[in-house]
Amino acid sequence: MAGQRSFSQRLCGLSIALLALHCLCVLCKPTARDDAGSILALSNRIVPEYVTRYAPLVWLHSDDPFRPADLLQHIRHTTPTINQTAIPDLPELDLDNLAILNDIGGGKVALTSNDDITTLPAWLYGSSPDDSGRIANATPCVVILVEHNARNVDAFYFYFYSYDRGANITQVLQPLNRLIEDTEHGMHFGDHVGDWEHNMVRFRDGKPIGIWYSQHVSGAAYAWDHKALLMKDERPLVFSAYGSHANYVSPGDHIHDSALVDYCDAGRLWDPVLSAYFYHLDPATFELTHIFQPKSNVSAATNLTSFFYYTGLWGDAQYPDSDPRQKTVPHFGLKRFVSGPQGPIVKQLVRKKLSPDNPGKKSWMQWAVGVFMSLYPCCLRGWRVWVSATVAITIVILAIFGVRYSVKYGMKRYRARKGYRKLDTDIPLNDINGSGESSGLHSPS
Ligand SMILES: *[C@@H]1O[C@H](CO)[C@@H](O)[C@H](O)[C@H]1NC(C)=O
Ligand SMILES: *[C@@H]1O[C@H](CO)[C@@H](O)[C@H](O)[C@H]1NC(C)=O
Ligand SMILES: *[C@@H]1O[C@H](CO)[C@@H](O)[C@H](O)[C@H]1NC(C)=O
Ligand SMILES: *[C@@H]1O[C@H](CO)[C@@H](O)[C@H](O)[C@H]1NC(C)=O
């Protein structure tokens, strides 16, 4: 008996111990996961290792003179203006106070070049990487980690250039190039001061699963194992287009906006994360926190977050047509100089998919050019235009005959139906008459 009791007591004790262990596990698990998940909870706000291990490597075009540029140098060579007028009484601006410009009312602030842009001042050209891919003495890259939860982190790698030179006539596809009058021989259009480009790598449990490449107003998304992606030591390669700095997965020519060509080649390799600022962004509060690489020399005394919240333009606002520097491409309304862009804050950093949730809207001109260019190879090129015209005219003639026939036939049917309806109403009348006579509706008199 005693042995049995002690056995059941032991069993009971064991179950209690197991239950306690189970409870402990249940209690511990979520907190343990949270601690492991929050990047900010890591000691000394350290950049997770996977963010640099899988960071993109950028091939700058061999002939592109406009290289990545230091953010602070860019600010120092510009003056904030509203409506082309300098804002008075400002302190010296830097990355730690730029957002004070948001409080100045009455219009959109534009960081406007201190120099005449048509003279292409030296600072517009940025800096070239050395043989190791590092851009020394400049920080042209901003990495922002959007931590959705413990498992899912989107890393945005922003690349900054002080100048974007748009396409010229040689980059316009046939036959639109014949429609554009090259009044200013070889002039580039769509040029602007300041240029923010980016890749976004989506991580799950520290492993990359997909990547976004920014290209002009939109871009392209790829699964990490997509065949089109080129890799070097597990890092995706990015080809920065000549002048525009749009990001592509391969060298060579790339068509954008239906009618323009971007050129890419493996010119000079840039390793952006070697000269970058790193941040953590809370998607719920939009709070940005400076974080650090393990062996970086960046001082933790400065936050360097104010520039992120600046919502104005990073370059000159589009010059009015009355400005002698401004030119317009006849018929298409394209301007030589357009406004500089807004910063990373407007790039839809909290995304469901790899692509921005709200794609930009196309103007009717872009839409028309798109339709025209998609029809051009099959139906409008050379002799095909005559075939297409004949087919179109035939369709129009057939349509006219068709409409005439259906109108005629419809009228006939309509009249016929009207007649039938008449009969319809007649029958009961006759009926009544008939029945009246036969059934003796006459009141008995
Ligand atoms: C900007 O300038 C234009 C023309 O000079 C003027 O009509 C407009 O009111 C100005 N806007 C602001 C915000 O000052
Ligand atoms: C277009 O721009 C490129 C690069 O700047 C230049 O080499 C070319 O000559 C220009 N085209 C024309 C027609 O001038
Ligand atoms: C950090 O500073 C030390 C000494 O000032 C220098 O030797 C080292 O190269 C720097 N490291 C980086 C990553 O810049
Ligand atoms: C950095 O951020 C903290 C907390 O928001 C603030 O107290 C501090 O003044 C900031 N430092 C600088 C240099 O802006």
Any atom of ligand 2 within 6 Å of the Cβ of 186 = yes
Residue ID of nearest Cα to ligand 2 atom 10: 186
The pTM score is 0.80
Strand partners, 223: 210
Q: What angle do CA 59, 213, 221 make, to 5 degrees?
A: 135
Check residue 387 and give its pLDDT.
87
Ligand closest to Cα of 242 equals 2
Ligand 1 atom closest to residue 106's alpha carbon, by position in its atom list? 13
Query: How remote is the CA of residue 101 from the centroid of ligand 1, in Å?
Result: 18
Q: What are the tens digits of pLDDT across the range 122-178?
A: 999 999 999 999 999 999 999 999 999 999 999 999 999 999 999 998 899 888 888
Query: How remote is the CA of residue 417 from the centroid of ligand 4, in Å?
Result: 84
Instruction: Spell out the domain ranges in the chain.
Output: 43-357, 361-399
User: In 148-210, where does DSSP find H-type helix?
Assistant: 176-179
Q: What is the mean pLDDT of each run of 10 residues along the chain (445 residues)?
A: 50 50 46 56 85 98 98 98 93 96 85 97 97 96 96 97 94 85 83 98 98 94 97 98 97 92 97 96 96 76 91 97 92 91 96 91 84 85 84 92 87 74 45 40 40
Residue ID of nearest Cα to ligand 4 atom 7: 303
Strand partners, 270: 58
Q: What is the largest CA-CA distance in the chain?
A: 124
Any atom of ligand 2 within 6 Å of the Cβ of 333 = no
DSSP letter assigned to residue 381: S
Check residue 416 and give its pLDDT.
77
Q: Are 90 and 99 in contact, with CB atoms under 8 Å apart?
A: no
The Cα–Cα gap between 406 and 414 comes to 12
Q: What are the tens digits of pLDDT across the range 314-325?
A: 999 999 999 999
